[in-house]
Amino acid sequence: MNITGILIAAALIGGIGLFIGLFLGIAGIKFKVEVDEKEEAVLAVLPGNNCGGCGFAGCSGLAAAIAKGEAEVGTCPVGGEPVAKRIAEIMGVDAGESVRMTAFVKCQGDCGKTSMDYDYSGVEDCGMLSFVPNGGPKSCNQGCLGYGSCVKACPFDAIKVVMGVAVVDKEKCKACGKCVAVCPKHLIELIPYDSKYAVACSNTEKGPVTMKACEVGCIGCTLCAKNCPKEAVSIESFNAHIDQDKCVGCGICASKCPKKAIVKV
């Protein structure tokens, strides 16, 4: 190969490279996507768990919504108040007060306190038990199934199944709400972290039916509601409910409950 051919080939390759470089440069300028600096700053502050507890598609979705003013600065349940304050500084707004929440399982009917209708042998998934007789082997058709769908859904290892009932570690819980969404019995709710007492039962059957199925089920006797000095307890469908905004944590309702369905949390 002579020197002329080498020079022509080099010039040709160099020319093609220069053309591609210019083309990409112009295309980059023309199709440049503007980045919202506030959105990037908010995203950097968010914890990055992408748990979806905020209701958006991951942390990037929430960051975009906050930057556009479509979501509050304290929307992230995982970050809580510290993250809310940092985001408020970025957005130039007041963070306001936020209440730390935690998940609570409204059932304590474990293997020693509730009776069983039959022995179940099959897929150990709470959602699948919707298709078996009475919605599960426990006599209480509204109690915890104990097969751990909530455990699998929790990204923070905050739930364990103990003696057939899910139990939440409130110190680990970030109130993302995934366990709430996955429970087919709707037994898990979010309550303030500072709550003193809660009703650990969601059964809505009449008293005699409940007592046959579980030793610690709420029977709707109304003693808790009648004795609460702050009118924080009400009875709905034979089941007690505590208004945490009114509750002062005196514990009278728990002491009056004959079935010990109200517990300290």
Give the pLDDT score at 170.
95
Query: Hey, do 108-193 and 195-265 end up sharing a CATH topology, with the first three levels equal?
Result: yes
Dihedral pair phi/psi, residue 42, rounded to 5°: -65, -45
- In this structure, the chain runs to a length of 265
**Cβ(100)–Cβ(192) under 8 Å?**
yes
Q: Does domain 108-193 have CATH number 2.130.10.10?
A: no
Give the pLDDT score at 241.
97
Q: Where are the domains of the chain?
A: 37-91, 108-193, 195-265
Give the pLDDT score at 124.
86
Give the pLDDT score at 54.
86
Give the pLDDT score at 32.
58
Kindly give the confidence (pLDDT) of every residue in the chain, 265 residues in length, as a single tens digit, with 9 standing for 90 and above: 567 767 677 777 877 877 787 777 776 666 655 667 888 999 999 998 888 888 888 899 999 999 988 888 888 988 888 899 999 999 988 877 788 999 999 999 998 999 899 988 888 889 888 788 888 899 998 999 999 999 999 999 999 999 999 999 999 999 999 999 999 999 999 999 999 999 999 999 999 999 999 999 999 999 999 999 999 999 999 999 999 999 999 999 999 999 999 999 9
Q: Quick one: CA torsion of 80, 86, 87, 88, rounded to 10 degrees? A: 100
Domain at 37-91, CATH homologous superfamily: Electron transport complex subunit B, putative Fe-S cluster (1.10.15.40)
b/e 187-220 (16+ beta carbons within 10 angstroms → b): bbbbbbeebebbbbbbbebeeebbeebbbbbbbb
Beta bridge partners of 167: 160
| Residues 195-265, CATH architecture | 2-Layer Sandwich (3.30)
Task: Enter the tokens of residue 211.
Answer: 């007592």
What is each CA distance from 123 to 97, 153, 173, in whole angstroms?
Answer: 44, 17, 27
Q: How far is 46 from 202, CA to CA, in rounded Å?
A: 35
Task: Enter the tokens of residue 191.
Answer: 């309550």
In terms of Cβ atoms closer than 10 Å to its own Cβ (0-12, 13-18, 19+), residue 20 is: exposed
Please give the sequence-ordered ranges of beta strands (E in DSSP) within the chain, or none if there are none.
Answer: 101-105, 159-162, 165-168, 188-192, 197-199, 233-236, 239-242, 262-264
